[in-house]
Amino acid sequence: MVSELKGTNQSNKNRSLDLSALGDAAKQSISAGEKPILKEPVRGQIVNIDLQVQEVFRSNRDNPNQRFHPCLLKVKTKFVDPTTQEEVTSTDNYSGLRFYPRTDETGQLLLDANGDEVLDRFWSGDGSDFGKLLNSAQVFNEKIVTYNDFFQFLLSGPNCVIETQFRNNPQTNKQTHKEFISRFI
């Protein structure tokens, strides 16, 4: 089950890069490939999704003995940039989903035949980006009652309304932006 959800990101292991051997790739402009800033919401369509389960464990704030893996839903959309009239694709992250693995009565993780953790349950916060996207989908289609229903709905390539949202990054004190699906149509 976990391997199906991890998509292409099978591991969060890091490796070091030889900075002296990066060549021309390191000479590109830092702002290259910047996403457009949409002055008004635009119609778009979901092209693909990738649900990634991080390898790291975090503890539940309310119950420190309950551990979970944070998940990241990457949603790729396409839309026409009103400024250039060109079709643009945008991949944006929706965080706020938690993967709680199943454990036995001693707290030992249960693994499937492939050695992957077995999903006990998902949880998402209503105020998170993931929770807002899930809520928008449920408002659009009341038949979405399980996480599987939600993922299948997104994979069906629904039409949506996309707008630019600005965020302040407290670590860098810079404002960033992302294309956010505000509703489905």
Residue extents of the structural domains in the chain: 2-7+38-184
Decide which of 33 and 120 is more confident.
Answer: 120
CB atoms closer than 10 angstroms to residue 6: 20
Helix, strand, coil percent values for the chain (each to nearest 5): 20, 40, 40
Greater confidence, 185 or 168?
Answer: 185
Residue 141: both structure tokens together: 């289609």
Long-range contact set of residues 138-146: C-beta below 8 Å, sequence gap at least 24: 139/183, 139/184, 140/183, 140/184, 140/185, 141/184
pLDDT digits (tens, 9 = 90+) for 49-73: 999 988 888 887 777 777 889 999 9
Q: What confidence score (pLDDT) does residue 10 get?
A: 44
Give pLDDT tens digits for 104-113.
888 788 888 9
Q: What is the pLDDT of residues 157-184, one digit of tens each?
A: 999 999 999 988 888 888 888 899 999 9
How much is the pTM?
Answer: 0.77
pLDDT value at residue 8: 41
Q: What is the pLDDT of residue 105?
A: 85
The answer, yes or no, to whether residue 7 has pLDDT greater than 50, is: no
Neighbours of 82 (CB within 10 A): 11
pLDDT at position 91: 93
- Judge contact between 179 and 34, C-beta under 8 A: no
For residue 177 the two structure tokens come to 């932006």
Residues whose CB is less than 8 angstroms from the CB of residue 162 and which lie 6 or more positions away in sequence, other chains included: 38, 41, 42, 43, 44, 77, 79, 90, 179, 180, 181, 182
As given in the structure block, the two tokens for residue 162 are 């996309």
Q: Which helix (H) or strand (E) holds 74?
A: strand 67-80
Place of tokens 């199906």: 4
Q: How confident is the model at residue 98 (pLDDT cuts 50, 70, 90)?
A: very high
For the stretch 122-147, pLDDT in tens is 999 899 999 999 999 999 999 999 99
Cα torsion 92, 97, 101, 106: sign = positive
